Each structure stands twice: as structure tokens, then as C-alpha cells.
Amino acid sequence: AQSVTQLGSHVSVSEGALVLLRCNYSSSVPPYLFWYVQYPNQGLQLLLKYTSAATLVKGINGFEAEFKKSETSFHLTKPSAHMSDAAEYFCAVSSNTGNQFYFGTGTSLTVIP
């Protein structure tokens, strides 16, 4: 069975600083990987997805993530944090057959003015 680990349930950054949210997965076969964002009292919104086309994936709102097979990681980054980035972020992995979809426990991002 696959699993997803998000290191750091809470991350705080200053406005304008680099955002780095960590995600590691466990899988013997490169899966499909996703990052979602959840703003307060809303559903999850897809930020970006990895489908093996390119290891560096660009998403919405200036976020990007890099798939590193050797490290089984898919960390989310943004060069400069905005106040509007404050939200909960979830990493997820899908099996190749799509029958299983696993979410990490989430990382709450706080942006300090």
C-alpha cells in the first residue's frame, strides 16, 4: 500500500520568504502525485499534479513542485510567500490504476506580515 508523509504539520514563513512544504511518498512504482490547497471553510483545490511528463511541475498561484525519484519526494515550493497563501496544503498520491488515492495529513501554512 502506498502512503504519503508530510513533514511539519505547521509551517510559518515571513511574507516574501521562500515557501517549502515537504512531501514524501512510499511506492515501488512512480505514482501520480498531487498538491491541493484548502482555504478556510472551502473544499480542496488542485494546485498541481505530476504525471511523469516532467519532473518539475508548475502549478497555479506561483507554486511548483519537483519530483525526485531517488528521494521519493515531491516538495512544494514558492519563491515568495504572499499573505493570501495562508491555507492548509495536502499532498496526495494516486496508484497507477486509480483505485487508490492517499492524502497526507496536511501542512498548515502561516504567512507573517
Partner 1 sequence: NAGVMQNPRHLVRRRGQEARLRCSPMKGHSHVYWYRQLPEEGLKFMVYLQKENIIDESGMPKERFSAEFPKEGPSILRIQQVVRGDSAAYFCASSVDRPPYEQYFGPGTRLTVT
Nearer to partner 1, 84 or 99 (CB): 99
- We find the least distance from the C-beta atom of residue 16 to partner 1, in angstroms, to be 27
Q: Which stretch binds partner 1 (CB under 8 A): 22-30, 55-63, 71-79, 89-97?
A: 89-97
Binding letters toward partner 1, positions 92-111, x by CB under 8 A:
x-x-x-xxxxxxxxx-----
E strand spans, 51-100: 56-58, 64-68, 73-78, 87-94
E strand spans, 1-113: 3-5, 10-14, 19-21, 24-26, 32-38, 44-50, 56-58, 64-68, 73-78, 87-94, 101-103, 107-112
- We find the least distance from the C-beta atom of residue 50 to partner 1, in angstroms, to be 8
Binding letters toward partner 1, positions 43-62, x by CB under 8 A:
xxxx--x-x-----------
